[in-house]
Structure 1
Amino acid sequence: MAVLVGCRVFFQAFRPRTANLEGARRLHDFIPHARTKKLQHVRPTANGGIRQYSSDFKSGDDLSVRYLDGEDSGIVVFGINRPKAKNAISKNLVKMMSEAIESVKKNNKVRSVILCSLVPGIFCAGADLKERAKMHQSEVGPFVSKARALITELGNLPMPTIAAIDGAALGGGLEMALACDIRVAATSAKMGLVETKLAIIPGAGGTQRLPRAIGVSMAKELIFAARVVDGSEAKSLGLVNHAVEQNNSGDAAYLRALELAREFNPQGPIAIRMAKLAINQGIEVDLTTGLAIEEACYAQVIPTKDRLEGLAAFKEKRPPRYKGE
């Protein structure tokens, strides 16, 4: 009984709530083949391709937050955009990502989040060491704590999160990807927790999430050696779910992540959130407790309108129209 009460208290934070989206930066999907309309501006990519933006895009932002529309409504894309710093994690990026995460966390219309890079060849190079070098020693600990809290909040988002790794993901960059539910990488991407090269250790969850992803012994080997692996090896280790050949636009992992989000989109959103909660909490406890957590999560979907809609759609042999209610 105590377990069930604890579960109810815990997933109150995950209960869908409406949110006002005014003021959020809306940006139509810029990747070719994405389902968007009314695109107004185009900009060349590094390899000569064209990426399309809506008029709301601000080129100076360290982070782009895009709410896709049309058939892709419900998919939100976080695009890291610090080309001069190789998307390194700075104070400003931590602030912007924290605000973006808080916004989608409260929005029950968001069905999945894709974390990607707008900089060709780079996902995230880790901490901004140039900024770090200017910090007083007393500032380093609090900043790392904020970065750790940010990545924890990313991992705690109630909807599915997908990291699209089209380039190097090192140190804190890989730690961000590890906090996502699913990781997709280009075979040419490079990944590693390389902190021991700097006589420090992964400080934003890497020592905990990497062993959970690939096993304790292999995680120790990679961290002790500060080893970097490519997308193919990462797939063989279980570090990423999918490894895809890079394309001419440099966005192959993003496109595969978008395909996955489109697979998730039609399913019952409350059911998806409860399934994620049950898995995340259940994997940390013994089976008996885990089954109690599952039961408590299942109880949350029984009274929903979506469950009744699913039954009606099955009976009427038509696609369901879930509203997250």
Structure 2
Amino acid sequence: MEAMLEHHDGIALFTICRPEKRNAINFAVMGALEEAMEQAAADPQVKVFAITGAGSEAFCSGGDLSEFGHLRGTEARQMLMRMGELLYRLLTFPKPTAALVNGTAMGGGCELATACDFRFAKEGSRIGFVQGRLGITTGWGGASMLFAKLPYGRALDVLLRAEPMTAEAMEACGWVDAILPAEHWHEQWRERLAPYAERSLSVLQAYKAAAGEKWRTAWFREQFFAEIARCAELWGSAEHEQALRPFLCKK
């Protein structure tokens, strides 16, 4: 089982169940996420949609290079566009969403979390938009979302540094909404989300509709997918292939 969907008092919790791969996203996880979002959006009992990773070490390490690393040309572009479309749907989801960053979040894992309304990080988590070290840019719309959600200079700094940062540093720049103690992690995130789950569905959806207006503009959507197209161009570059070589040799 690559992923699972559970329900807790109005909260639909989607868990990536690949701890041996640091909860990396593959095609199976993409399919599971798409199905989970459809179910959560349609279920009137679900008030909040949350995402986390299995185990205690990693939230999500991004794309699974054992599946995506060898993609080139049209195949790479299709993979990027498919996940980008899923994150755009998450960004415009009709109910509140939360990333429960229970450990390391790298690359595409940070993009996944950025698409959510809230990001709660377990103390000790390391977070990094490291794509720049691999000769590519954010490939699932992450930069467009980051520039829209953080002050310009802070967003650009995070992207250009392309390095793992502490949860405290990411909280200081505005990406992490709260750092929760590891000892009471599950109780703490449930406590944070409980007030949202107590509100009426009509109120939640009305506020999300208002919040989502800026994401639905033709300008933002064009920018979002243009970013993905630029990453697709870099995917087959010599720099990216050289950066991937050590990872692929381990597979």
Same-fold call, TM > 0.5?
Answer: yes
TM bracket, shorter-chain basis: 0.7 to 0.9
Are 1:184 and 2:117 matched, yes or no? no
How far off its partner does 1:282 sit? Answer: 5.5
Q: Aligned with 1:169: secondary structure?
A: strand
Q: Aligned with 1:265: secondary structure?
A: helix
Greater relative contact order (Cα < 8 A, sep 6+):
2
The structure that is helix-richer by fraction is 2
Q: Which runs of 5+ in 2 are unaligned?
A: 218-251
**Residue number in structure 1 paired with 2:187:** 255
Whether contact under 8 Å (1:184, 1:256) holds in the other structure is no
Whether contact under 8 Å (2:92, 2:215) holds in the other structure is no
Whether contact under 8 Å (1:162, 1:182) holds in the other structure is yes
Matching residue within 193, 196, 204 for 1:272: 204
Whether contact under 8 Å (2:14, 2:50) holds in the other structure is yes
Distance in 2 between the 1:67 and 1:284 partners? 28
Structure 1 runs (4+) deviating above 4 angstroms are: 282-285
The structure with the largest alpha-carbon Rg is 1
**Residue number in structure 2 paired with 1:64:** 4
Distance in 2 between the 1:203 and 1:192 partners? 14
Amino acid at match of 1:98: E
Query: Structure 2-normalised TM-score?
Result: 0.81
From the superposition, tell whether residues 79 and 265 of structure 1 become closer, same or farther in structure 2 (CA, over 3 Å): same
Give the alignment's Cα RMSD to 1 decimal: 1.7
Q: Aligned with 1:281: secondary structure?
A: coil
Amino acid at match of 1:267: R
Distance in 2 between the 1:133 and 1:113 partners? 30
Query: Structure 1-normalised TM-score?
Result: 0.63
Distance in 1 between the 2:54 and 2:90 partners? 19
**Aligned residue-pair number:** 217
Calculate percent identity across the aligned residue pairs: 25
Q: Which runs of 5+ in 1 are unaligned?
A: 1-60, 286-325
Report Cα offsets for 1:175-197 as digits up to 9, x if no partner. 11111111100221111111111
Whether contact under 8 Å (1:152, 1:179) holds in the other structure is yes
Instruction: Trace 1:207-286 onto structure 2 (pairs within 5 A).
Output: 207-247=143-183, 252=185, 254-281=186-213
From the superposition, tell whether residues 283 and 209 of structure 1 become closer, same or farther in structure 2 (CA, over 3 Å): closer
Amino acid at match of 1:163: A
Matching residue within 82, 102, 107 for 1:146: 82
Report Cα offsets for 1:156-203 as digits up to 9, x if no partner. 221111111010111110111111111100221111111111110001
Distance in 2 between the 1:284 and 1:82 partners? 32
Q: Aligned with 2:198: secondary structure?
A: coil
